[in-house]
Structure 1
């Protein structure tokens, strides 16, 4: 079999399309995974329920979407094509990190104490519960994408 200019161009087009096909196959696995992690985080955050605002603020952000304001790093962030995130926070619920990691007692100016709050982790345990399944799901999607792209 000889390689002609036309077959070489056809191969180049197929190879250029590979990354997009792989991304398109992996994205649904990412979306499903972050939805499961967010659901587990909401369930685990029930232990710390006072008003429910923290639980209501837990959101899954899929590929190419933007996280809500106040969710992490003080603002919103746009995910890449192969990124997804579970975030907690909104203008009235900016205490997710305090619930997750707890607080220590500190003395304020004037002698008042801030008190302590024990840690009630919800995001990290939700990730740990789902990590193996998420990794298997994404690996399966990658293998499927490569197999389909090779045909």
Structure 2
């Protein structure tokens, strides 16, 4: 369910923040957590309730450095999917645990609901219309998130320059 946020130079910013003292992390991590959590809560409130446990599977998955997050259904299953992809690229088979299989299923189910499906008339499978929930949740939190992270960076830089 990953979707590019449309923000430019994020990777460059993360590299710069990693090189700066721990003071940056003290200010920026809570801002990233707040934005990711708000986006997950809004997405869970937007998604249609007749899709079962999809709303419960929407969660943020934070990077090791805590300066970025992936939000969506089964977001923690992305690591499992990457492992499977690497194993297949090497010509190996990788068996996932039941929990990881469920996370991957939730991620794919979220993508089918967010973007819809074409269906297959030859197999009798009807198309499914798109019901976006992640994109509107990000749109609702985008300006709030950018302002919050910008303020956190400014506060951290002010704290560092004071000494």
Q: Distance in 2 between matches of 1:84 and 1:128?
A: 16
Q: CA deviation at 1:83?
A: 1.1
Q: CA deviation at 1:19?
A: 2.9
Q: Distance in 2 between matches of 1:51 and 1:141?
A: 37
Could you report, residue by residue, the CA deviation over 1:82-134 in whole angstroms, capped at 9, with x for unpaired residues?
Answer: 11121213615340000000111324xxx422111111101111001100000
Q: Is 1:106 aligned to residue 120 of structure 2?
A: yes
Contact kept, 8 Å, 1:34 with 1:60, in 2: the verdict is: yes
When normalised by structure 2's length, the TM-score is 0.64
2:42 aligns with one of 35, 40, 44: 40
Q: Once superposed, what is the RMSD of the aligned Cα atoms?
A: 1.8
Q: CA deviation at 1:51?
A: 4.6
Q: Is 1:60 aligned to residue 60 of structure 2?
A: yes
Match of 1:29 in 2: 31
Match of 1:81 in 2: 66
Could you report, residue by residue, the CA deviation over 1:16-53 in whole angstroms, capped at 9, with x for unpaired residues?
Answer: x84321122100000011000000000110x2x22521
Moved over 3 A (4+): none
When normalised by structure 1's length, the TM-score is 0.69
User: Which one has the bigger helix percentage?
Assistant: 2
Contact kept, 8 Å, 1:62 with 1:85, in 2: the verdict is: yes
Contact kept, 8 Å, 2:32 with 2:66, in 1: the verdict is: no
